[in-house]
């Protein structure tokens, strides 16, 4: 029987790359192991990844997931984009992430990313906003229950089921502070895994929302004014942070992040200055602070970790529209290189 393999990649759209995908029909005989998946190509001149005269780009399968939308033997194939000479394409941030994962393997870095996103109506306003004007101010919506305040739960629930079927390591979902805003959390898993799975989680979300006639927006500040932006808080730990006495390593990690604050902010998503204003549970983008339980800090140490004396730290600065390959790589490089004896 034929297998439908959806080859998925990240394009060259600026400033925020987007997902692209196309379907390859394969024979049963080819199997569904990663090693059996052939290279494929696409027209890079249509994705801001090549010029028309040298348009061919290469898709190199990196990870295979069962496809919960098509079901059966269908699969999703997360790909890296390569140049025809076999080198990584400049837009391929996974290649550098893979090098960092290898280099810092002995620290056993683990990640959990909280993907906040906004469901939009076709007119571009969030689900739950009236056709003219604004809904009641923020307050009841975060983790809210009840039909009037909460919209989009059917999409969030369908998405959760799809992620679990695909083997995405989900740790939960919740309704967020602004109406129409939701969150799903991936992790805790390793560097490459969290980024691959977050991209697949986003892919499934876009696909499911298509069926509802809803648009998914992961940008930092979908509604200007007194409405929360969308972040991708990135939770991080090393083996030493997770073990007894880990708090000293967590604090050292916070200090290391502070020393490279500008580099991190520059890679934490387009429009990060608009979101990190010091209001709406953020620290300003041009200031760095860390603290236990502090949601107004750049980096938070969760209360449970301070009681246990070990655990993880939460970098609250990354935007919803981050490239998780780059953010997870940078956090690993900054924190683990500072820990090198
Ligand atoms: P909050 O909304 O309170 O900031 P969430 O429950 O939404 O927290 O997210 C917590 C995240 O932390 C989850 O993605 C989870 O996978 C992750 N996490 C839990 N333990 C660890 C750990 N040891 N290392 C890295 N991430 C972790
Ligand atoms: Mn959360
Ligand atoms: Mn949140
Ligand atoms: Mn958080």
Residue 102, Cα to own-chain centre: how many angstroms?
21
Segment among 91-100, 116-125, 133-142, 198-207 with least mean pLDDT: 133-142
**What's the pLDDT at 324?**
98
Q: Which atom of ligand 1 is nearest to the CA of 311?
A: 23
Nearest-ligand number for the alpha carbon of 185: 1
pLDDT, average across residues 161-167: 98
Domain with CATH 3.10.20.70 in the chain: 2-91
**What's the pLDDT at 340?**
67
**What's the pLDDT at 32?**
74
> CA 139, CA 175: separation in Å to the nearest integer?
12
The mean predicted confidence, pLDDT, of the chain is 95
**pLDDT band at 301; cut points 50, 70, 90:** very high
Nearest-ligand number for the alpha carbon of 320: 3
What's the topology of domain 2-91? Ubiquitin-like (UB roll) (3.10.20)
**pLDDT band at 69; cut points 50, 70, 90:** very high
Which single residue is written with the structure tokens 């992790």? 187
**CA atoms 261, 262, 267, 273: torsion sign:** positive
Q: Return the bridge partners of 173, or none.
A: 184
pLDDT score of 129 more than 60 = yes
pLDDT score of 206 more than 80 = yes
**What's the pLDDT at 148?**
73
Q: How far is the CA of 109 from the centre of ligand 1 (A)?
A: 13
Q: How far is the CA of 315 from the centre of ligand 3 (A)?
A: 12
pLDDT score of 42 more than 80 = yes
Domain with CATH 3.30.590.10 in the chain: 101-340
**pLDDT band at 280; cut points 50, 70, 90:** confident
**pLDDT band at 341; cut points 50, 70, 90:** low
Q: Give the β-pairing of 232-237 and 110-120.
A: antiparallel
Count of beta carbons in the 10 Å neighbourhood of residue 215: 17
Question: Has this prediction a pTM greater than 0.95?
Answer: yes
Nearest-ligand number for the alpha carbon of 142: 3
**pLDDT band at 30; cut points 50, 70, 90:** low
Q: Return the bridge partners of 57, or none.
A: 42
pLDDT score of 294 more than 60 = yes
Q: Give long-range contacts, CB 8 A cutoff, 24+ apart: 156-163.
A: 156/182, 156/184, 158/208, 159/184, 159/201, 159/204, 159/205, 159/208, 160/184, 161/68, 162/68, 162/69, 162/204, 162/208, 163/68, 163/200, 163/201, 163/204
**DSSP structure class, residue 228:** -
pLDDT score of 96 more than 80 = yes
pLDDT, average across residues 95-108: 98
**Mutate-to-test residue for ligand 1 from 312, 318, 324, highest number of ligand atoms within 8 A of CB:** 312
> CA 144, CA 244: separation in Å to the nearest integer?
36
Say if CB 69 and CB 208 are below 8 A apart.
yes
Could you give the angle at which helices 94-103 and 191-212 cross, rounded to 10 degrees? 150
* CB-defined site of ligand 1, < 6 Å: 110-112, 114, 171-172, 185, 187-188, 233, 235-237, 242, 311-312, 314
pLDDT score of 139 more than 90 = no
Segment among 29-38, 206-215, 292-301 with least mean pLDDT: 29-38
Q: Return the bridge partners of 182, or none.
A: 117, 175
**What's the pLDDT at 34?**
87
Supply the Cα-derived Rg of the chain in whole angstroms. 20
Strand ranges inside the chain, DSSP E:
3-10, 19-26, 40-43, 56-66, 75-82, 110-120, 170-175, 181-189, 215-217, 232-237, 290-292, 299-301, 313-315
Q: Which atom of ligand 1 is nearest to the CA of 236?
A: 25
pLDDT score of 121 more than 80 = yes
**Mutate-to-test residue for ligand 1 from 188, 237, 331, highest number of ligand atoms within 8 A of CB:** 188
Count of beta carbons in the 10 Å neighbourhood of residue 279: 12
- CATH class for the region spanning 101-340: alpha beta
Q: Which atom of ligand 1 is nearest to the CA of 316?
A: 4
**Helical residues (DSSP H) of the chain, grouped into ranges:** 94-103, 153-166, 191-212, 239-242, 246-259, 261-266, 272-275, 303-308, 324-339
pLDDT, average across residues 291-306: 96
> Residue with the nearest Cα to atom 13 of ligand 1?
112
Say if CB 251 and CB 257 are below 8 A apart.
no
pLDDT score of 31 more than 80 = no
Which single residue is written with the structure tokens 């500072």? 338
pLDDT, average across residues 204-221: 97
**pLDDT band at 149; cut points 50, 70, 90:** confident
Q: Measure the N-to-C terminal CA separation of the chain; round to a whole number of Å.
A: 55
């Amino acid at each position: 029987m034929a297998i439908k393999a959806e080859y998925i990649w990240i394009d060259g759209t600026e400033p925020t790359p987007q997902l692209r995908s196309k379907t390859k029909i394969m024979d049963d005989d080819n199997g569904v192991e990663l090693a059996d998946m052939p290279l494929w190509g696409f027209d890079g001149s249509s994705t801001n990844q090549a010029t028309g005269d040298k348009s061919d780009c290469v898709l190199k399968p990196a990870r295979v997931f069962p496809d919960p939308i098509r079901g059966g033997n269908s699969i999703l194939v997360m790909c890296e984009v390569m140049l025809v000479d076999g080198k990584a394409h400049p837009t391929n941030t996974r290649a550098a992430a893979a090098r960092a994962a290898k280099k810092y393997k002995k620290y056993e870095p683990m990640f959990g990313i909280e993907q906040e996103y906004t469901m939009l109506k076709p007119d571009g306003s969030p689900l739950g906003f009236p056709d003219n004007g604004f809904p009641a101010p923020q307050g009841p919506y975060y983790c809210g229950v009840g039909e009037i305040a909460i919209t989009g739960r059917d999409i969030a629930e369908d998405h959760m089921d799809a992620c679990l079927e695909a083997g995405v390591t989900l740790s939960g979902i919740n309704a967020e502070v602004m109406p129409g805003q939701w969150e799903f959390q991936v992790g805790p898993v390793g560097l490459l895994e969290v980024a691959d799975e977050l991209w697949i989680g986003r892919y499934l979300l876009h696909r499911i929302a298509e069926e509802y006639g809803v648009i998914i927006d992961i940008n930092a500040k979908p509604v200007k004014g007194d409405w929360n932006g969308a972040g991708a808080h990135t939770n991080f730990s090393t083996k030493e942070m997770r073990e007894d006495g880990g708090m000293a390593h967590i604090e050292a990690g916070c200090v290391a992040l502070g020393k490279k604050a500008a580099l991190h902010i520059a890679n934490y998503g387009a429009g990060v200055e608009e979101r990190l204003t010091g209001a709406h549970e953020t620290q300003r983008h041009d200031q760095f602070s860390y603290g236990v339980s502090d949601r107004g800090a750049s980096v938070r140490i969760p209360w449970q970790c301070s009681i246990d004396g070990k655990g993880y730290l939460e970098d609250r600065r990354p935007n919803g529209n981050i490239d998780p390959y780059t953010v997870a790589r940078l956090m690993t490089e900054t924190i683990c290189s500072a820990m090198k004896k």
